[in-house]
Amino acid sequence: MKRLKSLALISLMLLLGPTAAQGQSELDRLFEKIKTVVEDAEPGWRCTRGEPFGAPTTSPNLLIMGCALEAQARLTRRATHTVEIRHVAISVAPLQSAEEARRFLHNFVNERPNEVREIRDLKDEAYGWGMDNANIVLINSRFKVFISTVAHVEFDADAKALTLDQKNERKKSERLKLTHDFAKHALAALDSF
Amino acid sequence: MIIPIRNVTPQRLFPRPRFSGEKNSTPILLSFLILISNASFALAQNQPDSGTPVTINFDELPLGALVTNQYVPRVYFSATGFRAGAGGPNGSDLYADTYLRSLISDINFYRNVYHQVSGFSDVYVSFTVPVNNLSFNVLNVCHCYIPYGSVNIYVYTNQQFYGGYTVYFQHAGTNAITFLQTIPNITDIRIAYPSNPNLSGYYTPLYYDDFNFTPNLGVNITSSRVSGSLNGTTKSALLGADIILNAELAPANSFTSGGSYAWSFTGPYSLVGAANSSSVKIRSTGTGIVTAKVTYTKNGYTATGQMTINAVLPSVVSFQATQHADTIAGPGLPCADSDYQFQVGCPAPSPPPSGVEISARLSGPDPMISEPAQSGVKLVHLSSRNDRFMLGGNLMCAISSDQFPSAPYQLESDPLPHAFHTFVNDVFDLTAEIDEGETLANENEGVVIDEQFEEYAVYYVSDNGSPINARLTVTLSKLHWNWGGVVGFDPNGFWNIRTHYGPSAPTYFIFGTSTDSMLPTHGELGPALIQCPGTPSTNYQVDGQRFFVEVLYSALFVRNPDYDGGRYWTSEITQCLFDFDCIHVRRTDIAYAFFLSPETIYHHPELANPPGTPGVNPSFDDAFVLDCYLLLLQRDPRPDDLAGLNWWKSRLPFLGYRGMVEEFINSFEFHEHWH
């Protein structure tokens, strides 16, 4: 299915002409850049590229990617398998200009003024939003970036010893930390892009 | 009439090769050996303390046979001043009979040992093993004077002087010498001072014949495992274990040293080592009768001992298991555990009853002459698993072996069995407890456990008593039982046993059945789970129902699930068990329900007042689609993905709100984002 979609995208790119092709080429390079930065900085992590949920006839100029840390988890009394225990989802959309990016961010913040938290150490502008403000939306030049983290702490080695509250607390701290770390990685990649 | 001679000086009567250092009182020993037939020495089944009666009858010798020394060393016959055949047709040649009589046709008479009557020439008879029941005949007692003649007989037992006796003949012709029968272990006799004068006063020759005796030579088969002689007995031994038999000679004195041994066996056996010494080691190779025979040979005499060994398997006195009722264990449940488990009984740390309790009582023969420490019984466990797990949106099937997926049964107790014991005692008990259970892990959404078990009581034999690398194994009995059931995570928010594959009774007894075979197994029990054939597979944890619900809480309620709420909504989906269509519908229903919930509207007022409600929100549809992006994909499609946003807005009239949610939660991006 994935292959079919890829073929469809390629066909679409050929039909849409050089502009779309240039966009895809930029997303390709962007993915490789972020992937390299992350995998160099975070041993054991592996990044893969996803596909945006768009209209069937168009492909958004949007990079969907995820980076994951895996571990062995016990499924049954005898069986184990490899699972992702941490997953950071990153979407990057190159906009027309930095001004358009700023406009977007301000709109986003203004729509939910009580549900966002400004993060000052992530240029150009960054806000935490969503649960625990652990999701980050930021802009860097003309790039609009969403980053969020899933922490499957149930598969942590010491998970059995944790209460539900402790698990939730760890999820929160992991999400806050990893999202912030990966935001820095994304910014580093965009700065050198 | 027999009168003991009291004044005879004890002495060795005559030299024999093994006593060559001894001095003899007689100046010349002239030995002649008498041909006797082999039949005369035929031996029957030996008693432990005696040999077969022997008769030496010189009548069987061919007339005129030349006597040579081929009879040594059975019996030495010798005489002093012996004049064989003086005046006879053959001169001084040594014949069995050389004394010419008028009644030549009486060949029996002529072939008797002849002693030239001289009044002082002695005849010596020396036995190379002690003999009992000695008797012989004195022939040709003259019918002349009364009283008749006499002869002195000196008796030695165990090479020591025993006594001297004067025998007065009671009548003419043949006189039987029988008083020696009461004297055991005679090794030598000396027949001396014959007196047999005729009417003219000349001595008439005496003849000696028909020596009857029983060699006191016996051999007993013994075993350190039991006391006494095993000759003529039947003793039991466990199959395949070493049986050490010893040959003990009787009587145990200096005469029984030396000699040779030969063991022979019939029946199912194998020999371990040599069979030509006083001790032998064998093993039975099958159940049934093994006869053991030892032949001891010395100085031409042969003694045998024979016994019977009954090679058997241990008896299974009892073999049964108690299977307790299926239980859901877990935190806070009566059957406490740190994890949620579907299991048999309620194993530790919870109080009894526990899982499957197996007990066996084995009995070996008593007494047994095999080495008990080499024989044991072990309990071996086999499993056949047909389990299915709904795990994170995948239906996984358990296979018993990674290497042999189609193998029905696998060893679950290898290399060490569940329990084992050697036959230190003839009766012992084996017990084992099997705590069958399956973790109801975080990702488990529905479980089918269908496991067949066979527990075998297996007899084994090994050099050191260890069940590992046994040289022989024989299956004795087996238990068979089935365990499992369908367990669902149901809408009450708890695991529930829906169906029992095993018995649901609180306690169920399983009894052993005799068998001599074990189901084939391949390799070790594997931990493998494979995708059940024909079912969809996913690597996304959001396809698992718990995480899916957690995502809905996180995305729409902006919080973690509360304990009860998370379990409730999860169980609303997992009650579908393995029905993928049901799961798909439930996921969509619940995701849509989350969109409509007051808690979502609290966080997203734009989702309040949908069409059809009072005070309808005219921009509800736009807000709904945008929130599908924002909440489910966690991104704002504006301004870079307006095409997509508008597309899905255009699709809303056709899909409906539920259909729109269905599209988003089944999208690739949704899975990629939440993974």
B328 and B306 part of one domain: no
Residues 590-629 of chain B whose Cβ lies under 8 A from any Cβ of chain A: 603, 629
Specify whether the CB–CB gap between B390 and B446 falls below 8 A.
yes
Q: Which residue of B has its CA nearest to A145?
A: B635
Q: What is the pLDDT of residue B424?
A: 79
Highest mean pLDDT: which of A113-122, B165-174, B307-316? B307-316
More confident residue, B74 or B317: B317
B520 and B581 part of one domain: no
Q: What is the pLDDT of residue A7?
A: 43
- Provide the 3-class DSSP secondary structure of residue B17: helix
B528 reaches A (C-beta below 8 A): yes
CA separation, residue B636 to residues A107, B589, B648 (Å): 11, 24, 14
Q: What is the pLDDT of residue B91?
A: 30
Residues 6+ apart with CB under 8 A from B232: B45, B306, B307
More confident residue, B437 or B64: B437
> DSSP secondary-structure letter at B368?
B
B646 reaches A (C-beta below 8 A): yes
Specify whether the CB–CB gap between B284 and B240 falls below 8 A.
yes
Highest mean pLDDT: which of B193-202, B280-289, B357-366, B412-421? B280-289
CA separation, residue B409 to residues B210, B384, B489, B501, B523 (Å): 77, 4, 29, 18, 10
Phi, psi of B582 (to 5 degrees): -60, -40
Question: Is residue B536 domain-resident?
Answer: no
Specify whether the CB–CB gap between B71 and B78 falls below 8 A.
no
Q: Do B647 and A160 touch (CB under 8 A)?
A: no
Specify whether the CB–CB gap between A135 and A151 falls below 8 A.
no
Going by C-alpha positions, the residue among B129, B138, B118, B111 that lies closest to residue B32 is B111
More confident residue, A181 or B13: A181
B308 and B323 part of one domain: no
Specify whether the CB–CB gap between B263 and B232 falls below 8 A.
no
Here the CATH number for the domain that contains residue B96 is 2.60.120
Question: What average pLDDT does range B654-670 have in this prediction?
Answer: 96
Here the CATH number for the domain that contains residue B572 is 1.10.3130
B16 and B139 part of one domain: yes
Residue with tokens 């040999």: B51
State whether the Cα torsion B449-B452-B455-B458 is positive or negative. negative
Express each pLDDT in B124-143 by its tens digit. Answer: 777 878 888 999 888 778 77
Question: What average pLDDT does range B200-208 have in this prediction?
Answer: 70
Domain span including residue B60:
2-44+51-214
Nearest CA distance, B421 vs chain A (angstrom): 29
B249 CB-contact burial (10 Å; exposed 0-12 / middle 13-18 / buried 19+): buried
- A53 vs B389, B639, B670: nearest CB: B670
Q: Which of A72-81, A144-153, B366-375 has the lowest mean pLDDT?
A: A72-81
CA separation, residue B259 to residues B213, B256, B278, B523, B656 (Å): 21, 7, 10, 55, 110
Q: What is the pLDDT of residue A149?
A: 96
Q: What is the pLDDT of residue B303?
A: 85
Question: Is residue B596 domain-resident?
Answer: yes
- A168 vs B560, B636, B667: nearest CB: B560
Count structural domains, chain B: 4
Specify whether the CB–CB gap between B146 and B234 falls below 8 A.
no
Q: Which residue of A has its CA nearest to B539?
A: A83
Q: Using the predicted structure, report yes or no on whether residue B403 has a pLDDT greater than 80.
A: no
Spell out which residues of chain A touch residue B436, defining contact as CB-CB under 8 Å: none
More confident residue, B40 or B156: B156
pLDDT-derived band of residue A43, with 50, 70 and 90 as boundaries?
very high
Residues 112-171 of chain A whose Cβ lies under 8 A from any Cβ of chain B: 115, 130-131, 135, 137, 144, 146, 148, 150, 152, 154-155, 160, 164, 168, 171
Specify whether the CB–CB gap between B590 and B549 falls below 8 A.
yes
- A60 vs B444, B559, B641: nearest CB: B641
pLDDT-derived band of residue B402, with 50, 70 and 90 as boundaries?
low
CA separation, residue B254 to residues B249, B257, B278, B397, B666 (Å): 11, 6, 16, 78, 102
Q: What is the enclosing helix (H) or strand (E) of A174?
A: helix A164-191
Specify whether the CB–CB gap between B41 and B300 falls below 8 A.
yes
Q: What is the pLDDT of residue B352?
A: 59
Residues 6+ apart with CB under 8 A from B350: B329, B334, B335, B336, B337
- B644 vs A55, A74, A168: nearest CB: A55
pLDDT-derived band of residue B514, with 50, 70 and 90 as boundaries?
very high
Other residues' Cβ atoms within 10 Å of the Cβ of residue B405? 13
Q: Which residues pair with B378 in a beta bridge?
A: B420, B458
Q: Using the predicted structure, report yes or no on whether residue B113 has a pLDDT greater than 60.
A: no
Q: Do B558 and A107 touch (CB under 8 A)?
A: no
Cα angle, residue B209 at apex, residues B208 and B214 outer, rounded to 5° = 120
B283 and B319 part of one domain: no
What ranges make up the beta strands (E) of B435-489?
A: 437-439, 444-461, 472-489
Question: What average pLDDT does range B18-34 have in this prediction?
Answer: 28
Q: Which of residues B288, B312, B336 is at a domain's end?
A: B312
Q: Do A108 and B636 touch (CB under 8 A)?
A: yes
Question: What average pLDDT does range B445-464 have in this prediction?
Answer: 91
Going by C-alpha positions, the residue among B122, B200, B203, B206 that lies closest to residue B164 is B122
Spatial distance between the Cα atoms of B71 and B32, rounded to a whole number of angstroms:
9
Q: Using the predicted structure, report yes or no on whether residue B488 has a pLDDT greater than 70.
A: yes
Q: Using the predicted structure, report yes or no on whether residue A112 has a pLDDT greater than 60.
A: yes
Nearest CA distance, B652 vs chain A (angstrom): 13
Specify whether the CB–CB gap between A31 and A49 falls below 8 A.
yes
Q: What is the pLDDT of residue B399?
A: 75
Q: Do B668 and A150 touch (CB under 8 A)?
A: no
Spatial distance between the Cα atoms of B675 and B670, rounded to a whole number of angstroms:
8
Spell out a b/e string for B639-649, using b for 16 or more CB atoms within 10 Å of the CB, else e: bbbebbbebbe
Specify whether the CB–CB gap between B371 and B237 falls below 8 A.
no
- Residue B239 tokens read as 């199959």
B296 and B322 part of one domain: no
Question: Is residue B610 domain-resident?
Answer: yes
B284 and B232 part of one domain: yes
pLDDT-derived band of residue B119, with 50, 70 and 90 as boundaries?
very low
- Provide the 3-class DSSP secondary structure of residue B358: strand
Question: Is residue B437 domain-resident?
Answer: yes
Spell out which residues of chain A touch residue B647, defining contact as CB-CB under 8 Å: 54-58
Sequence ranges of the domains in chain A: 26-191
Q: Do A5 and B668 touch (CB under 8 A)?
A: yes
- For chain A, the straight-line distance linking the first and the last C-alpha, in angstroms and rounded, comes to 31
Q: Which residues pair with B383 in a beta bridge?
A: B410, B453
Nearest CA distance, B518 vs chain A (angstrom): 24
A112 CB-contact burial (10 Å; exposed 0-12 / middle 13-18 / buried 19+): middle
Question: Is residue B323 domain-resident?
Answer: yes
Residue of A27, A77, A99, A164 to mutate for B, most B C-beta atoms under 10 A: A77
Q: Which of residues B193, B214, B235 is at a domain's end?
A: B214
Question: What average pLDDT does range B412-430 have in this prediction?
Answer: 78
% of chain B surpassing 70 pLDDT:
75
Q: What is the pLDDT of residue B226?
A: 94
% of chain B surpassing 90 pLDDT:
42
Express each pLDDT in B580-631 by its tens digit. Answer: 999 999 999 999 999 999 999 998 889 999 998 888 999 999 999 999 999 9
Spatial distance between the Cα atoms of B177 and B167, rounded to a whole number of angstroms:
8
Specify whether the CB–CB gap between B99 and B115 falls below 8 A.
no
pLDDT-derived band of residue B65, with 50, 70 and 90 as boundaries?
very low
Spatial distance between the Cα atoms of B184 and B217, rounded to a whole number of angstroms:
12
More confident residue, A57 or B143: A57
More confident residue, B398 or B515: B515
Going by C-alpha positions, the residue among B531, B340, B541 that lies closest to residue B441 is B340
B146 reaches A (C-beta below 8 A): no
Express each pLDDT in A152-174 by its tens digit. Answer: 998 898 988 898 899 999 999 99
Nearest CA distance, A180 vs chain B (angstrom): 16
Length of chain B: 675
Question: Is residue B590 domain-resident?
Answer: yes
B294 and B413 part of one domain: no
Express each pLDDT in B531-575 by its tens digit. Answer: 888 999 998 999 999 999 999 999 999 899 988 899 999 999 999
State whether the Cα torsion B467-B473-B477-B483 is positive or negative. positive
pLDDT-derived band of residue A6, with 50, 70 and 90 as boundaries?
very low
- A66 vs B441, B637, B672: nearest CB: B672
Q: Which of residues B159, B191, B214 is at a domain's end?
A: B214
ipTM of predicted assembly, 2 dp = 0.85
pLDDT-derived band of residue B92, with 50, 70 and 90 as boundaries?
very low
Q: Is the peptide bond before B349 cis (omega within 30 degrees of 0)?
A: yes
B566 and B502 part of one domain: no
Residues 9-48 of chain A whose Cβ lies under 8 A from any Cβ of chain B: none
- B640 vs A60, A78, A130: nearest CB: A60
B437 and B579 part of one domain: no
Q: What is the pLDDT of residue B401?
A: 60
- Residue A150 tokens read as 């899933």
Q: What is the pLDDT of residue B674?
A: 92
Report the largest interatomic distance among the alpha carbons of chain B, rounded to a whole angstrom: 171
Q: What's the 3-state SS for B100-117?
A: CCCCCCCHHHHCCEEECC
More confident residue, B37 or A132: A132
Q: Do B669 and A108 touch (CB under 8 A)?
A: no
- B541 vs A52, A84, A148: nearest CB: A84
Going by C-alpha positions, the residue among B79, B37, B31 that lies closest to residue B55 is B37
Other residues' Cβ atoms within 10 Å of the Cβ of residue B3? 12
Spatial distance between the Cα atoms of B144 and B673, rounded to a whole number of angstroms:
141
pLDDT-derived band of residue B252, with 50, 70 and 90 as boundaries?
low
Q: Do B675 and A107 touch (CB under 8 A)?
A: no
Q: What is the pLDDT of residue A59?
A: 82
Q: What is the pLDDT of residue B241?
A: 97
B584 reaches A (C-beta below 8 A): no
Q: Using the predicted structure, report yes or no on whether residue B291 has a pLDDT greater than 60.
A: yes
B65 and B202 part of one domain: yes
How many pairs of residues across A and B have Cβ atoms under 8 Å apart? Answer: 137
B209 and B234 part of one domain: no
Cα angle, residue B121 at apex, residues B117 and B124 outer, rounded to 5° = 120
The half-sphere exposure of A95 on its side-chain side, counting CA atoms within 13 A, is 23
Going by C-alpha positions, the residue among B249, B242, B288 that lies closest to residue B267 is B288
pLDDT-derived band of residue B490, with 50, 70 and 90 as boundaries?
confident
B635 reaches A (C-beta below 8 A): yes
